[in-house]
Amino acid sequence: MCFVRIEIWSDVVCPWCYIGKRRFDAALANIAAKGNTEPIEVIYRSYQLDPNAPVTGSTPVIEAYAKKFGGRERAAQILSHLTTVAAGDGLTFRMDIAQRAHTLLAHRILHWSLMQYGPDTQAQVKEAFMAAYFTDGVNIGEPENLFAICAGLELDVNALKRWIESDQGTQEVHADLQGAAMRDITAVPTYVINDQFMIPGAQDVELFERILLKMLQQ
């Protein structure tokens, strides 16, 4: 057995990233249930699917999809399909109320949670941000909404606000984006294991599990 480190490039507004997270988490749980005690470290890296989204204000996601995919009818079909797939993985997507959002601030907070609390807390923050966006229709581009989510997780929001005011975390986000470019990552989610093996896309639980077990046995 060996130490396994997984870096996951994803965006908090990426539907396949949330679906992939649920499947990947299930694979990790299955491995633990089989008696694995070897350390598996999971770190979330930043990626922005919509870097040109407005920093303030909000518009329905369906409008952005309509512009990207050729009209509201096609956008509605895509969002309906995503909702159905997500339901199969136990997720409730409310794409009818989802709001387009700029995710730089969310990624900065994810870096803060990693640096201050560690990978497990970062994963909790990631989950909370995604649930707020996909299920509750929260505009996660708004600072106060993100602070409220972190407060609900009992994190030190005062320290977080000082971090945000100092512009810390921005450099780390840009480093992640550069890291994605260096690895030719052009779509998310992408899972990089021990900086040598790459898994693109929201794969099935069974595939994630097989790959992780193989890496653990090396």
- Ordered by where they begin, the domains of the chain are 4-216 (3.40.30.10)
| Entry pTM | 0.96
Nearest to 112 by CA among 75, 78, 83, 149: 149
Residue pair 127/166 in contact (Cβ under 8 Å)? The answer is no
Q: How far apart are CA 132 and CA 45, in angstroms?
A: 19
Residue pair 65/59 in contact (Cβ under 8 Å)? The answer is no
The parts of the chain modelled with pLDDT lower than 70 are 1-2
Give residue 98's pLDDT: 97
Strands laid side by side in the 40-46 sheet: 40-46, 4-10, 190-193, 197-200
Give residue 2's pLDDT: 66
